[in-house]
Structure 1
Amino acid sequence: MPKITREDIQIITKHSNWPENSVAKALKNHVYTGKKAWHRFISLFLLVLGVSFTVLGIIFFFAYNWDKLHKFIKIGILEGLVIIGVLGVLVAQRKPLIQRIILTATTMLVGVLYAVFGQVYQTGANAYDFFLGWTLFVTVWAIVSNFPPLWVIYIALVNITVVLYAEQVANDWSEMYVFALLFTINVLFLVLFLWLPKFLPLKVSPVWFTNVLALTAIAFSTIGIIKGIGRGQDVFFNVLLIMTPVVYGLGIWYGLVMKRGFYLAIVPFSIIIIISAFLLNESDDAGMLLTIGVFIVTAVTFLIRFLNQIQKKWAS
């Protein structure tokens, strides 16, 4: 049975003679947060806060005492902490959420371990090697845990690895190719997390997580197109120009079908930015700046009005 929302209760109250005491009881049972929910939220919040401060404390400990510690102590402490984290995951088998939080913290410690190892032995490797190794090491953890915060870290590592590889190794990659590649990678991640739960026995990803992926993908396409405007012919700029409308169209379709206002907001907002950048590339005199300002105000006004109308339509 779908969860009863505040809007559902308001609609029923408006079109019926539902008694006030029954309405209050329904709100208390289905809408208002109870003591158990608050207790769970505070417990998880303090746990996450404690784990985060612990990881940051370890990082600052090494930064402050770097010259005073022997190299074997530096690496040994971090290896021991990673092992303790893995053992903590195995011990907390009856508490899956705590398992995943510990695993996420251990993932961050793996990155610190790689950084310390590189500083101690001065391997001379490129920065992308560090992030690539970190990414490969935690790949299995991300897949097995299927924990959205850990996936955010993992996808960020993938993006950083691609950017650093393009800067330090693949010097023949054009900037437009990198943006098109990053756009494709993040769109694929978004599609996987949206559609895999429909075909596999996987937990549906939270809305905030898929929104972050969508925002990241659109950011790469928007920045890539803006940078490509006025730079001459680039085959991958044309590829990005072809891919972007297709993905944006699918995003609008998905937003309408699934009633996700976020997609109906970020796609038009990206288009507004791209059109403004194109107009600014044509001319930067006072008249054009005034035109761009009027266009932005008008477009944003119509967008807000459209979103308000469609939200009211969905609510009714």
Structure 2
Amino acid sequence: MDNLRHANQLLHWAEQQQLTSQQLQQAAEQVKLQAVTTDWLAQANRLLLLAAVMLLCSAVIFFFAYNWPLLHYLAKMALAGTAVLLSGGIAVVSASDSLQRRAALFTCAILTGALLALIGQTYQTGADIWQLFAGWAALISPLVLLSKSRASYLLWFVLLQLALWRYLDSNAGFWSLNHAQLLLFASLANLLWLLFAEFALRRLGVTQHKPLLWLAALTLLAPLTFAGILGVWESNYQLNLLSYLLTAGVLALWYFRLQPDLLIFALVLFSAIAVSTAMLSRLMDGADGFMLVNLLALYVIGSSAAAAVWLKKLLQEAQHDQ
């Protein structure tokens, strides 16, 4: 996998225009830029290990679910705690930064959630489900930092998202769409996650951080775009619209000029098409319905096609530079 990491770094430098095509060709004589058989086998080993971890954790969880009435609560706690300690012990004795250690830490993180759910179900604590997700994410934070694993960070991120959205919905009826400030708060939280994925993940040892960065950008732009569209029509969402315009502008500048990332730029571009379509419909509010629908359809089709052509041109230029 080291060869792939070096190749990825070289291609990344070429994408950032820090290497010319001639320099890239010279580097290709020392490092193979395409995967070989050993790389495919190593990747298959990773996928099989991840599948084994997920199946093992599922087996533990379903064991408790199936035998719930037959086990004493102390036996349940002892078995669940033993599973957590065993996976943690395997991580301790495994080599640093090894695949086995990452898998063991990921297993320990999942089983920690199962243990928390078991405690809540046994003692009927009355806690809301968002507290389970938040507590789970807090407890596994040291494991995630030690793992340097994308799978562990993905689990951590999903838990934080579930805790956030469940908290907003349970405390304020979030999905009733009457809470512009809460939607703004959710966008701010996702912006912090995007900044963390952009600037912190590589420093924490996650070399292949791009998928997490793309997911963070998607979770930021989805509620932000939705709020921006509402802001076109609803006065209480105008601050959300302003936040969308500022954030989308900064993201477009950053991921088009300063730190090029074609996928995130494409998300911003199509998000802008959605919000601008809402603006156009608001501008023509009161016009003939048939004309309005056809004009909006032509605008969406034309702008989407133009964006696709532009993105394809940018992709070809990036590939040519490489």
TM-score range, shorter-chain basis? 0.7 to 0.9
Instruction: Count how many residue pairs are aligned between Structure 1 and Structure 2.
Output: 296
For 2:250 and 2:231, the matched residues in 1 are separated by 23
RMSD, aligned α-carbons: 3.1
Q: Do the aligned partners of 1:252 and 1:264 also contact (CA within 8 Å) in 2?
A: yes
Letter in 2 for 1:101: A
Extract unaligned runs of 5+ from structure 2. 1-5, 15-20
Residue in structure 2 matched with residue 45 of structure 1 by the alignment: 47
Deviation at 1:279, TM superposition (A): 5.6
Deviation at 1:160, TM superposition (A): 1.8
Residue in structure 2 matched with residue 206 of structure 1 by the alignment: 209
Matches within 5 A, 1:111-260: 111-169=113-171, 175-196=179-200, 202-227=205-230, 230=233, 232-234=234-236, 237-257=237-257, 258-260=259-261
Matches within 5 A, 1:64-75: 64-75=66-77
Residues 126, 34 of structure 1: CA spacing in aligned structure 2 closer, same or farther, 3 A cutoff?
Answer: same
Residue in structure 2 matched with residue 11 of structure 1 by the alignment: none
Residues 52, 280 of structure 1: CA spacing in aligned structure 2 closer, same or farther, 3 A cutoff?
Answer: farther
For 2:77 and 2:180, the matched residues in 1 are separated by 40
Residues 197, 156 of structure 1: CA spacing in aligned structure 2 closer, same or farther, 3 A cutoff?
Answer: closer
Residue in structure 2 matched with residue 103 of structure 1 by the alignment: 105
Equivalent residue of 1:248, what SS?
Answer: helix
For 1:109 and 1:65, the matched residues in 2 are separated by 17
Deviation at 1:28, TM superposition (A): 11
Deviation at 1:227, TM superposition (A): 4.8
For 2:87 and 2:42, the matched residues in 1 are separated by 23
Letter in 1 for 2:82: G
TM-score (norm 1): 0.81
**Aligned to 1:311, which of 305, 308, 315?**
315
TM-score (norm 2): 0.80
Residues 203, 45 of structure 1: CA spacing in aligned structure 2 closer, same or farther, 3 A cutoff?
Answer: closer
Extract unaligned runs of 5+ from structure 1. 9-14, 17-22
Residues 63, 196 of structure 1: CA spacing in aligned structure 2 closer, same or farther, 3 A cutoff?
Answer: closer
Deviation at 1:278, TM superposition (A): 5.2
Which piece of structure 1 moves more, 41-50 or 163-172?
163-172
Equivalent residue of 1:48, what SS?
Answer: helix
Letter in 2 for 1:220: P
For 2:295 and 2:142, the matched residues in 1 are separated by 52
Aligned-residue identity in percent: 20
Q: Do the aligned partners of 1:4 and 1:30 also contact (CA within 8 Å) in 2?
A: no
